[in-house]
Structure 1
Amino acid sequence: MSTISERAAAAAGRTGEADDLKLPEEYVDQFPESTPLADPMADYEPGDDDPEMVPVHLAWLRVRRDIRAIGKGEEYNERGTRYNFRGTDTVVQYFGPVTLKHGVNVLPVKTETTYGTKQTKSGGTMRECSVTVTWHIMGPTGDVLELQTAGEALDTSDKSTTKAQTVALRNLLLNGGLIPTGDRDPDADRIERGIEAPARSAESYRDEILNPKTSAARIQQIGYEVSNLRMLNNKVANENGDMETLDSLGPRIYKERTGGGQ
């Protein structure tokens, strides 16, 4: 089998041993595969502002060291729900300058999605997206760490995918960077549980029902309480010393207090 150089020489009307042949310049463009591929980093010399050429695991460690912590400085307070959180924008603002400083790129290389629909309380429909994103954390020399994170989001229009990917990015930076919040640890507080109040006895409810100062409204409320406690059939000694169930005693005294009306 002839080589590219031999074929080029034959086309030019020259013959000879392959080692003695030289590809004419006019044929170089026609046979680009014969030209050695250039190494883009071969002549690279770091400038004053360029990162140090270190492996990616070391560059990522330096990023983590510079970030330290990101506090939960943002607050969600809607529909009676309130909590503090670390938003994606805030997290990216912390990581952006530091990854530039250390020559680290964070690149999504594969995204797997699933979709569904959810009904809102008002009867509307929301599109749900769950994503699994494969990321390459690329160091200054081009080597990579491959990581995966998941995210999910709901949206009423066409933004559920973008939102889910944004959550996946935040999870990557916070979890992959092991970034603490700087908040007080929940285990630092110790709260002694108090002794729960004992359940009321049937006799205590009888005494309250028979008390002349107990209002008709309160007697009605007692009926709900003893019903929830399943004490309606409990027998107690009434004002005459006779045994009577709470289910009978309460309504009878209620009628007496209200003049027989309901």
Structure 2
Amino acid sequence: MSKIQAAVLGVMKDIATTGIAKLQRNIQQGYSFRGIESAMNELSPLLVKHGITVTPSYSELLVHERFRGDPKDGRAIRFCTLKGTFRFSAEDGSHVVSECYGEAMDSGDKAVTKAQSIAFRTALFQQFVVPTMAMDPESYLDAEDEDIALNSPAPPDELMDAAVNAANAGLEAYKSFWQSATPADRLALATHHAQLKATAQRVTAGGDTDAGQ
């Protein structure tokens, strides 16, 4: 096994324990998604840890504009597609290459940048086979439930204590607690879930606990 293959496998093993949650939300269309920020925030530390560098390049750029309303007004939407080529390299020079297409549109000057981000995000998710099963409130909360959760009272002390104890026992313990919780308990804990999960990750990594603070 080459060094880059071993490094890629190391990243895959690490990200497989947590996945990447849908932390970004499209307000206009009402859905949650995993954006480039989520992908980079989760994977960047793992790439550094396993000694992987990424060199991007882009080609096959196609851009066209579609006017909105009267063309004389100059209001247009720009559509862009491109191919991203991403070279993942280890310190010994061994490497693997991922090619992914990106497509985006924008009414300003960001269509190309958006398409690059989409291609890169796709490459990261495909190269490291990122799980989509992350412990994620959006996996069971719809938009109405989220509003209820944000405006609901604090969870019962007994439930919160159980969640804190599970988080302080590490990621596997918290994952087991979360998966066995009832929908009502998950809804009650939704606004605390991100902090509890982060605490569980730190405990598993050997850090301090702070879920109870």
1:174-253 mapped onto 2 (5 Å cutoff):
174-182=125-133
TM-score, scaled to structure 1: 0.46
1:251-262 mapped onto 2 (5 Å cutoff):
none
Which amino acid counterpart does residue 105 of structure 2 have in structure 1?
A: L
Distance in 1 (CA, whole Å) between partners of 2:69 and 2:48 is: 45
2:33 is aligned with 1:85 = yes
Which amino acid counterpart does residue 112 of structure 1 have in structure 2?
A: E
Distance in 2 (CA, whole Å) between partners of 1:165 and 1:58 is: 27
TM-score, scaled to structure 2: 0.56
The Cα of 1:157 is off from its aligned counterpart by 2.4
Task: For residues 159-187 of structure 1, give each alpha carbon's deviation from its aligned partner in whole angstroms, at most 9, with x where no partner exists.
Answer: 21111101101001112211122169xxx
Distance in 1 (CA, whole Å) between partners of 2:12 and 2:69 is: 42
Distance in 1 (CA, whole Å) between partners of 2:99 and 2:82 is: 10
Task: For residues 24-48 of structure 1, give each alpha carbon's deviation from its aligned partner in whole angstroms, at most 9, with x where no partner exists.
Answer: xxxxxxxxxxxxxxxxxxxxxxxxx
The Cα of 1:57 is off from its aligned counterpart by 1.0
Task: For residues 68-97 of structure 1, give each alpha carbon's deviation from its aligned partner in whole angstroms, at most 9, with x where no partner exists.
Answer: 21121222121xx21110111111011111
Contact 1:102 / 1:140 at 8 angstroms: preserved in 2? Answer: no
Which amino acid counterpart does residue 159 of structure 1 have in structure 2?
A: K
Q: Given the alignment, which residue of 64, 74, 88 partners 2:24?
A: 74
2:60 is aligned with 1:109 = no
Equivalent residue, structure 2, for 1:193: none
Equivalent residue, structure 1, for 2:168: none
Where 1:58 maps in the other structure, the secondary structure is helix
Where 2:113 maps in the other structure, the secondary structure is helix
Distance in 2 (CA, whole Å) between partners of 1:86 and 1:120 is: 29
CA-atom RMSD, angstroms? 2.1
Where 2:97 maps in the other structure, the secondary structure is strand
Equivalent residue, structure 2, for 1:212: none
The Cα of 1:121 is off from its aligned counterpart by 7.1
- Following TM superposition, where does structure 1 have runs of at least 4 consecutive aligned residues deviating by more than 2 angstroms? 109-112, 118-124
Contact 2:20 / 2:134 at 8 angstroms: preserved in 1? Answer: no
Distance in 1 (CA, whole Å) between partners of 2:134 and 2:70 is: 36
Matched residues, number: 129
- Structure with higher Rg: it is 1
* Inter-CA distance 74–141: structure 2 relative to 1 (3 Å threshold): same
2:66 is aligned with 1:118 = yes
Higher relative contact order (CA 8 A, sep 6+): 2
Distance in 1 (CA, whole Å) between partners of 2:33 and 2:51 is: 28
Contact 2:88 / 2:96 at 8 angstroms: preserved in 1? Answer: yes
The Cα of 1:131 is off from its aligned counterpart by 0.8
Equivalent residue, structure 1, for 2:86: 135
Contact 2:56 / 2:85 at 8 angstroms: preserved in 1? Answer: yes
Where 1:167 maps in the other structure, the secondary structure is helix
Where 2:56 maps in the other structure, the secondary structure is strand
Equivalent residue, structure 2, for 1:152: 103
Distance in 2 (CA, whole Å) between partners of 1:57 and 1:160 is: 33
Distance in 2 (CA, whole Å) between partners of 1:60 and 1:168 is: 19
Which amino acid counterpart does residue 90 of structure 1 have in structure 2?
A: S
Distance in 1 (CA, whole Å) between partners of 2:39 and 2:106 is: 22
* Inter-CA distance 71–102: structure 2 relative to 1 (3 Å threshold): same
Where 1:145 maps in the other structure, the secondary structure is strand
Contact 1:131 / 1:150 at 8 angstroms: preserved in 2? Answer: yes
Distance in 1 (CA, whole Å) between partners of 2:69 and 2:103 is: 20
Distance in 2 (CA, whole Å) between partners of 1:95 and 1:120 is: 39
Equivalent residue, structure 2, for 1:63: 11
Equivalent residue, structure 1, for 2:210: none
Residue segments in structure 1 that go unaligned for 5+ positions in a row? 1-53, 185-262
